[in-house]
Amino acid sequence: MSEFSAQDAVFMQMALDLAQQGQFTTTPNPSVGCVLVKDGSIVGKGFHFKAGEPHAEVMALRDAGEQAKGATAYVTLEPCSHFGRTPPCAKGLIEAGVARVVSAMRDPNPQVAGKGLQMLAEQGIESAVGLLEEKAEWLNRGFLKRMRTGKPFVQLKMAMSLDGRTALANGESKWITSELSRQDVQVERAKASAILSASSTVIADDPLLNVRWEQLPKQVQQQYKHENLRQPIRVILDSQNQVQPTQRLFQVDSPVWFVSKSERDLSGYPQSCEQIILEDKAEYLHNLMLELGKRQINTLWIEAGATLAGALIEANLVDELIIYTAPKLLGDEARGLCKLPHLNKLADASQWKLHSIERIGDDVKSIYHPIVREPKC
């Protein structure tokens, strides 16, 4: 951090704040922000809004115009060096004549991976990397995990009572948590690349599993036009091909991917439906995550019953456990949070570290990260 000044940190934080404005729209691309500074003043700024549209550096350069020459560029991710749907950003910075580039972190994408910084160095442009790196990593944790492991960042959401129950014995569960908590879930869904659930949940609850625009906070609605907010892909585990075209799931204009063991006739389903055929074997859930990674799913939001929740936890596939706790007591006959193997020793229990806790009305939102990460196969 010694090579960076306090002023550098201020401008990089501005770039990170800009990057966050793309968190609902950029997938499968990362969220990136850029600030151009000359003689201590901001001359240009921009962020990446959507895949296929100009990157953050291009937007900032457009904003700066001729003032970009001799400026310092603060970018939350290493400038790209390859031709994709848009030209290389490193090339654009070189042609604009910037004097210095500060990146929060290197891009683990094999197509970049240091090549952008090398490109700048070869043209005599001073560059530095590592400023507010931890914040930049957190912002794009889904994209970064996919690039590094081939799997999405998995978020398992559950709602429970004070005594750890998710539904009454008869299955009634609407609504354990408050309207404010459900609104918060809409925001989390909107950030996700895909939502995963099981056919049992779809058949029992007949959910839409979509982002409901009208339930998003007013500041989000004001910042984005309705048509710009994408709907996450819905991924449904349906090994027996039980989900029917009459489910409410298909009332939403968003793809549904069925995961099953055999082909199904999709003639009665919307054209956006696809199939993922996976063998039902020990590595099933791991193979599913790899398949979703290949399909460019960065962040996977999971809403499922106790069986699937327990299986994902037991397989060490959950990166983030998000629990909404309501101030209610449902009793010992109500349904539990997740199904896990019987334990004989407390030392064998799945262990988690509290990342954050937030009050949402009378409910509490707790986020946990696993302590042990070794994969189980």
Residues forming the annotated binding site?
55, 80, 89, 159, 173, 175, 189, 201, 205, 209, 212, 239, 303, 305-311
Would residue 57 show up in a list of annotated catalytic residues for this protein? yes
Binding residues for Zn(2+), as ranges, are 55, 80, 89
SS3 for 19?
Answer: helix
Residues in Cβ contact with 108 at an 8 Å cutoff, skipping those fewer than 6 apart: 144, 147, 148
In Å, what is the CA distance from 238 to each residue of 41, 196, 329?
Answer: 56, 11, 32
Residue pair 25/228 in contact (Cβ under 8 Å)? The answer is yes
Residue pair 101/75 in contact (Cβ under 8 Å)? The answer is yes
Whole-angstrom Cα distance, residue 348 to residue 356?
Answer: 24
73 bridge partner residues: 36, 101
Whole-angstrom Cα distance, residue 250 to residue 272?
Answer: 10
Catalytic: which of 57, 78, 291, 320? 57
Q: Work out the burial of residue 315: count CB atoms within 10 Å of its CB; fewer than 13 is exposed, 13-18 middle, 19 or more buried.
A: middle
The catalytic site residues sit at 57
